[in-house]
Amino acid sequence: MVKKALGRGLGALMPAESVEFQETEGLVNIEVGKIRANAHQPRKEFSQDSLRELANSIKEKGLIQPVVVVKKDGYYELVSGERRTRAAKLANLKTIPAIVRDYNERDKAEIALIENIQREDLNKIEEALAYRALMSEFELTQEQMSKKVGKSRAHIANTVRLLDLSQAAKAYLQAGKITPGHARALLTLDPVDQQEMCELIVKKDLSVRAVEREMKKWNKTQTQGAKIEELPAEIKSFQDQLEEKFSTRVKVRYAKDKGSIQIEYYSKDDLMRISDLLLEL
């Protein structure tokens, strides 16, 4: 199979910020209401405080850096500059300067993903999702990905691993309540224990080193408990199948004549998802 390539590279695809206004070809003023977001935009959250600050700056000085768009039938689609466009709307601008380019879908995906990856304020889960999307779309190794975005291979690997966190732990990370270092230390825990450890980190303001020490105690206790409550092989296999089926932690309490099955959920949406699966049985 021939692998897709990123091709010309980000520098060839995007105009340099320092020369955008010197370039006359394709530079126009576009009605803000005719600009739509890029479907490939990896950023899912925009800080309202940050947008208001940028909007105030735009009111005072105007929009210094144009956005980049492609022309569609009756509207323009953003390639880069969604944050600036949102701030311009808050500033009540009717039109903004834009560079109109003729990009194909792959070019748009590359630019939107790589531009956002290289920004410092992209949260770690969004960054991880962007890496995974690029590597999947263009069949890149972590080493190739690292060269494309100017990050180390270890950084790529450690960031993508964060996608294995539970939804609760991801929420703590995205909210800035725990650091990526904290999060990586939690990866060996099951979802419930991850949430409990997140709560402990916030409550006690634990450092990454302190969390690693707690993890050693935690894992030792869990291992000892597992020996005491070890399930018969066929019941353990059944429990594993249930966990795979429901994509969550399942605990079988087993006795000779009776017992129970506990299926855990971590949000209302998670509960509804599991309920639907149960009703299909």
Q: Please spell the DSSP secondary structure of 185-233, one letter per residue.
A: HTTTS-HHHHHHHHHHHHHHT--HHHHHHHHHHHHHHHHHHHHHTPPPH
Query: What tens digit of pLDDT does each residue of 39-54 get?
Result: 777 676 777 888 899 8
Q: Which amino acid is at 63?
A: L
**pLDDT score recorded for residue 184:** 92
Q: How far apart are CA 173 and CA 160, in angstroms?
A: 14
Kindly state the tokens that stand for 115: 């531009």
**pLDDT score recorded for residue 97:** 93
Q: Is the pLDDT of residue 33 over 50?
A: yes
Kindly state the tokens that stand for 45: 């959250």
Q: Is the pLDDT of residue 140 over 90?
A: no
Q: How far apart are CA 101 and CA 103, in angstroms?
A: 6
Q: How far apart are CA 150 and CA 27, in angstroms?
A: 29
Q: Domains in the chain, start-ordered, CATH in brackets?
A: 10-111 (3.90.1530.30), 179-228 (no CATH), 231-280 (no CATH)
Among 20, 82, 110, 127, the active-site one is 82
Bridge partner list, 254:
259
Q: Is the pLDDT of residue 226 over 80?
A: no
Residues of the chain above pLDDT 70, percent = 83
Start-to-end CA distance of the chain, whole Å, equals: 39
Q: Which amino acid is at 184?
A: R
User: What is the pLDDT averaged over residues 56-66?
Assistant: 88
- What pairing do the DSSP bridges indicate for beta strands 95-100 and 67-71? parallel
The strand order across the sheet containing 76-80 reads 27-31, 95-100, 67-71, 76-80, 35-36
Instruction: Tell me what the pLDDT averaged over the chain comes to.
Output: 80
- The yes-or-no answer on residue 105 being catalytic is no
